[in-house]
Chain A
Amino acid sequence: MTLLQARGLTKAYGPTPALSGADFALRAGEVVAVMGPSGSGKSTLLHCLAGIVRPDAGTLTYDGRDLTALSDTARSALRRTDFGFVFQFGQLVPELTCAENVALPLRLNGEKRKAAEARAVEWLARLEVDGTAGKRPGEISGGQGQRVAVARALVTAPRVIFADEPTGALDSLNGERVMRLLTEASRDTGAAVVLVTHEARVAAWSDREVVVRDGAVRDPERIA
């Protein structure tokens, strides 16, 4: 089943075109790597797909809904409930403990603090960072931090996880661990993953890859 489908997405930041006619399709539960050289528009594609930025042109449907027609508020709500995010770095609130960070999306969805933090601790354990629950992001290693971020992305049981260079700031071993936990956990929960990376070894954790080159996407399995 196609969960997320994009046709002819274009997006420009000022005079610079970041995307020029990108096609993309994501089936439920699959892991798709978005590859391409730096500046090719990978991240912009991810931001468009996730409804963070509105494309200048093109169609974008998620679960039968036209994402480009939704208001900012509605897209925010959708991101809270259906999507999860992992970025390269700088995504954890430095003042909150790791458990509080993971509980944040739940609390934004209106869950009670106690319940949210209990579930957060469960997810931390699942990502093998249960020791970090009471610590602040500044007190843990980068690899642990990314796993906390993965826990935060997964805690709301999203249907799609958007991961933008999730191992970009990590060494091979830690990157590997994050990728293993991310793909395993998403497979367990049935979440699809859009994985932006320029590293082949990271992309190798995907089910298939698409390549962005100069803002255009070559998706061999694009749905006609």
Chain B
Amino acid sequence: MTPRTWGRDLALGARFAATGGRSGILRTLLTAAGVGFGVALLLLASSLPSMLFQREVREAARAADASHEVADPRPDTFLHYTQYSSYRGTGLSGLLLKPEGPKAPVPPGTTRMPAEGEMFVSPALADLLASPDGALLRERLPYKAVGTIGEAGLIGPNELRYVAHAGFLTPDSYDGRAERYGWSVPEEPTNSFLLLLVVIAYVVLLLPVLVFIATAARFGGEQRDRRLAALRLVGADNATTRRIAAGESLAGALLGLVFGAGLFLVARQFAGTVEIWDVNAFPSDVVPETVLALLVLAVVPVASVAVTLLALRGVAIEPLGVVRAATPRRRRLWWRLLILAAGAALLVSAVGGVRIDETEIDALPIGAGTVLVLIGLTGLLPWLVEAAVKRLRGGPVSWQLAVRRLQLSSGTAARAVSGIVVAAAGAVALQMLFQAMEQDFTSSTGHDTTRAQLQTSLDARDGGEARRAIARLSAVLGVTGAIGTVDAYVHRAGPLKPGEEFAPIAQLSVGDCASLREYAELPSCADGDVFVVLPPKGATDAPDAGRVGETARPGARVALRDPQKHEAAVPLWRIPEDARTVTSRRDPAGLLRYGVFATPKSIDASRLDDPNAVVLVRLDPAVADAPELVRNAALAIDPTATVNGLSDTEQSSRFLSVRTGILVGSTLTMLLVAASLLVATLEQLRDRKRLLSSLVAFGTRRTTLCCSVLWQTAVPIAVGLALAVAGGLGLGSVLLAMTGQQVRDWWVFLPVVGVGAGLIAAVTLLSLPLLWRLMRADGLRTE
């Protein structure tokens, strides 16, 4: 059997696929469509890493290069400050610039350095600003839009971004001084969790495609059988005939590859309009990983040939017809369980080995384990369907007809449904994974949104200005309460001790008693009191009390300015002897604050050096735009103010969109499976045209036959879904255990089951018109 005979036979088969009459072509097109959708999905999935990587590259390329310090202003330097914000739940970023000379480089994506008070905006931001929805945002950005930022300055087409010339930047308020753009470019696509996700998504997508090809290899079975038998009659040997059959599938698969590639090219054009997890990308960034793409290109045709040969295994192609093994081989359980067990073992061995923040992931055992588990589940299905169906008895005629049919050839149904198992099990596992992540994110932030919803931090020149800022924020519409402190650092007074490079520091917070109580457990408090606040014992996110106490100690003298920076007159302050030592309390943002707390009467806040006003505000939920109003107010006071939402609702909605995406993806995959199930059902119905007509002749009700089709579809899908849910929950728990998570919700499979039920209904409904037509007496006509 030389490669040449292989090539000849496959080519001959491919020709049959193209010239095999209407049903032959239909069969090829169906296969191609199925494979095409699968290939497109695979290509998109394999583009995900590069897509995310490209975003990082773009982000790095447009950022001012801070890799080395530029100490003094030059004609080609500029000051820059990157501002992150959000507007009604959508992230927003801005690059504020102040050129220090005429030669300052033009920011990426723009055509010139904007003049003072001007800005360039991304197309999405331009649209937003121009719309009524953008009214509040227009207040926030006191710059005149003079142009749009091009692709080079954006990480995604939907990004909200501005590049503004901000004259207020000073060397003190800057992020840095730079002479060029382009940060060091990252080398590797990131996060292990994402990789795990891609690995699993890949497996979950690839397997149903293979299953679909396997099912498609049997499309139009009867006609193909006749053709194959005819080939045998004219003298083709058995192996040749099989190769020709494989060639037919190959033609469909190759056509599918072309179709899939085309579909992918079309789909990537829409990459910019779809946003999942705040990620959207330029079509040019949606490029499949070379290795993965090559794998798809290789796997699909090879699989189509292999699967066809495998499918014909139990079939004897004789010159006078095709004989399917009369008594199907008994299905054995052990090897199916073995695969499952092997996969589970691989996965369990990786438990605890994946950390979300790690970038390295041992993808091989996890991918292999997932593949094995899913294959094992798929392999288990025919056995399970057979075992389940064998025990079914009794019931009405429609049930009897369906059950008997399944008993006799459960394999066909099981094969078609096995795609559902993979897709559904994968979807359930991924859903679990994401749900856990979602809740993990929400709880691990430690935000207590009952105490405050926004955290604002503003720079102030002195304590007085900081106090006024607090007052102004408290007065914003929709703010029902504010926890405000004026924060600065105090340094231990006196010379450096041997071995010290700088004096130890502690934070000094000045605020009223109500505000300070949010940061520490105060037994009593009156204006004029001072407290030394130490972190609670055992807190992992704070230094031990001794370190804090080096500076913050009752009776100690502290410098209100960094003695190293300000050699001259450093203002000093003595912490009162009667200052009480108290324990820190987690603030609404979940953080611990320690050092020295002072009430307004105990210290003249205007003496503080370069203080911050930190305000945690409580919002009136009835005022929908309260967060935007606070942001606007904060930025009006200090253009470099930061405002962070403590609410976790943004996080949740991100995850929700990912989970919706998974559900949509798995639904699409299951639709593919349903399509092949539908084709199989239609084909079976057409094969039984005579039988159906004669059943109708002796008075069988239409409903009986319809119900029988329904049962016949429903039973295998139900068994498949049950298996998929069980397997998916199992797989999900192991994957969660791997990332050290708990299972939060065992009911994530409900939507998947819902989709499955929908598919049963859809397949049944779509086969009814044909059933209706076949039930007319035409089928009885022999003449």
- Check A-B contact in the complex, CB < 8 A: yes
Q: Which residues of A contact B408 (CB under 8 A)?
A: 94-95, 136
User: CB within 8 Å of A: which of B396-425?
Assistant: 397, 400-401, 404-405, 407-408
Q: Which residues of A contact B699 (CB under 8 A)?
A: 76-81, 83, 105, 108
Q: Which residues of B contact A85 (CB under 8 A)?
A: 694, 697-698
Q: Which residues of B contact A93 (CB under 8 A)?
A: 401, 404, 691, 695
Interface size on B, residues (CB 8 A): 27
Within the complex, the shortest CB–CB distance from A115 to chain B, in Å, comes to: 14
Assuming the contacts A76-B699, A90-B691, A105-B699, asked whether A165 and B782 have C-beta atoms less than 8 A apart, the reply is yes
A18 to B401 Cα, complex, angstroms: 34
A-B contact pairs, 16 of them (CB 8 A): A47-B777, A73-B701, A80-B698, A83-B699, A87-B694, A87-B697, A88-B782, A91-B690, A91-B691, A91-B694, A92-B691, A95-B407, A104-B695, A107-B400, A108-B397, A164-B780
A96 touches B400 (CB 8 A): yes
A34 to B691 Cα, complex, angstroms: 23
User: CB within 8 Å of B: which of A4-58?
Assistant: 13, 38-39, 43-44, 47, 50, 52-53
A52 touches B400 (CB 8 A): no
B777 touches A100 (CB 8 A): no
Residues 90-117 of A, flagged 1 when their CB comes within 8 A of B and 0 if not, give: 1111111000100011011000010000
- Cβ of A205 under 8 Å from chain B: no
User: CB within 8 Å of A: which of B658-691?
Assistant: 690-691
- Cβ of B19 under 8 Å from chain A: no
Number of A-B contacts (CB under 8 A): 91
- Cβ of A166 under 8 Å from chain B: no
- Cβ of B269 under 8 Å from chain A: no
Within the complex, the shortest CB–CB distance from B331 to chain A, in Å, comes to: 18
B residues with CB within 8 A of A: 326, 394, 397, 400-401, 404-405, 407-408, 690-691, 694-701, 704, 776-778, 780-783
A95 to B412 Cα, complex, angstroms: 14
The 5 A-B pairs at the shortest CB distance, nearest first, are namely A80-B699, A90-B690, A79-B699, A95-B404, A91-B694
Q: Which residues of B contact A79 (CB under 8 A)?
A: 697-699
A95 touches B401 (CB 8 A): yes
- Cβ of A84 under 8 Å from chain B: yes
Assuming the contacts A47-B777, A88-B782, A113-B394, asked whether A108 and B700 have C-beta atoms less than 8 A apart, the reply is yes
- Cβ of A89 under 8 Å from chain B: yes
B777 touches A95 (CB 8 A): no
A165 to B698 Cα, complex, angstroms: 16
Q: Which residues of B contact A43 (CB under 8 A)?
A: 780-783
B405 touches A95 (CB 8 A): yes
A96 to B704 Cα, complex, angstroms: 15
Within the complex, the shortest CB–CB distance from A106 to chain B, in Å, comes to: 10
User: Which bracket fits the contact residues of A?
Assistant: 35 or more
A109 to B394 Cα, complex, angstroms: 16
A108 touches B777 (CB 8 A): no
A50 to B699 Cα, complex, angstroms: 10
A95 to B399 Cα, complex, angstroms: 12
**A39 and chain B: residue at smallest CB distance:** B783
B783 touches A83 (CB 8 A): no
Q: Which residues of A contact B691 (CB under 8 A)?
A: 90-94
A13 to B695 Cα, complex, angstroms: 21
Within the complex, the shortest CB–CB distance from B230 to chain A, in Å, comes to: 22
Q: Which residues of B contact A76 (CB under 8 A)?
A: 696, 699-701
Q: Which residues of B contact A53 (CB under 8 A)?
A: 776-777
Within the complex, the shortest CB–CB distance from A137 to chain B, in Å, comes to: 10
Q: Which residues of B contact A100 (CB under 8 A)?
A: 400, 404
Q: Which residues of A contact B394 (CB under 8 A)?
A: 113
Q: Which residues of A contact B694 (CB under 8 A)?
A: 85, 87, 90-91
A43-B783, A107-B400, A168-B782 given. 4 additional CB < 8 A pairs? A79-B699, A87-B694, A94-B408, A94-B691
Main DSSP-derived SS at the A contact region: mixed
**A105 and chain B: residue at smallest CB distance:** B698
B404 touches A104 (CB 8 A): no
A98 to B304 Cα, complex, angstroms: 39
A39 to B781 Cα, complex, angstroms: 10
Q: Which residues of A contact B400 (CB under 8 A)?
A: 96, 100, 107
Most buried by A among B407, B698, B776, B780: B698
**A92 and chain B: residue at smallest CB distance:** B691
A81 to B738 Cα, complex, angstroms: 65
Q: Which residues of A contact B407 (CB under 8 A)?
A: 95
Q: Which residues of A contact B777 (CB under 8 A)?
A: 47, 52-53
A100 to B777 Cα, complex, angstroms: 23
User: CB within 8 Å of B: which of A147-196?
Assistant: 152-153, 162, 164-165, 168
Within the complex, the shortest CB–CB distance from B60 to chain A, in Å, comes to: 65
Within the complex, the shortest CB–CB distance from B407 to chain A, in Å, comes to: 7
A152 to B405 Cα, complex, angstroms: 20
Within the complex, the shortest CB–CB distance from B96 to chain A, in Å, comes to: 76
**B708 and chain A: residue at smallest CB distance:** A93
A150 to B577 Cα, complex, angstroms: 114
User: CB within 8 Å of B: which of A110-151?
Assistant: 113, 136, 138
Q: Which residues of B contact A152 (CB under 8 A)?
A: 698
Within the complex, the shortest CB–CB distance from B280 to chain A, in Å, comes to: 52
**A81 and chain B: residue at smallest CB distance:** B699
The contact of A96 among B401, B698, B700, B781, by CB within 8 Å, is B401
A52 touches B696 (CB 8 A): yes
A73 to B407 Cα, complex, angstroms: 31
A138 to B404 Cα, complex, angstroms: 14
A98 to B704 Cα, complex, angstroms: 20
Within the complex, the shortest CB–CB distance from B444 to chain A, in Å, comes to: 57
Q: Which residues of A contact B401 (CB under 8 A)?
A: 93, 95-96
Within the complex, the shortest CB–CB distance from B371 to chain A, in Å, comes to: 35
Q: Which residues of B contact A38 (CB under 8 A)?
A: 783
A165 to B781 Cα, complex, angstroms: 11
A104 touches B782 (CB 8 A): no
A167 to B486 Cα, complex, angstroms: 104
**B403 and chain A: residue at smallest CB distance:** A95
A13 to B783 Cα, complex, angstroms: 13
A84 to B401 Cα, complex, angstroms: 20
A92 to B688 Cα, complex, angstroms: 10
Within the complex, the shortest CB–CB distance from B111 to chain A, in Å, comes to: 70
Q: Which residues of B contact A165 (CB under 8 A)?
A: 782
Q: Which residues of B contact A95 (CB under 8 A)?
A: 401, 404-405, 407-408
**A89 and chain B: residue at smallest CB distance:** B690
Most buried by A among B397, B408, B696, B780: B780
A87 to B405 Cα, complex, angstroms: 22
A39 to B783 Cα, complex, angstroms: 6
Within the complex, the shortest CB–CB distance from A111 to chain B, in Å, comes to: 10
**A75 and chain B: residue at smallest CB distance:** B699
The contact of A84 among B690, B698, B783, by CB within 8 Å, is B698
Q: Which residues of A contact B696 (CB under 8 A)?
A: 52, 76
A52 touches B780 (CB 8 A): yes
A194 to B700 Cα, complex, angstroms: 21
A96 touches B404 (CB 8 A): yes
Within the complex, the shortest CB–CB distance from B25 to chain A, in Å, comes to: 25
A162 to B699 Cα, complex, angstroms: 13
A47 touches B780 (CB 8 A): yes
Within the complex, the shortest CB–CB distance from B392 to chain A, in Å, comes to: 13
Q: Which residues of B contact A162 (CB under 8 A)?
A: 697
A152 to B694 Cα, complex, angstroms: 12
Q: Which residues of A contact B690 (CB under 8 A)?
A: 87, 89-91
Q: Which residues of A contact B698 (CB under 8 A)?
A: 79-80, 83-85, 104-105, 108, 152-153
A88 to B696 Cα, complex, angstroms: 15
Q: Which residues of B contact A92 (CB under 8 A)?
A: 691
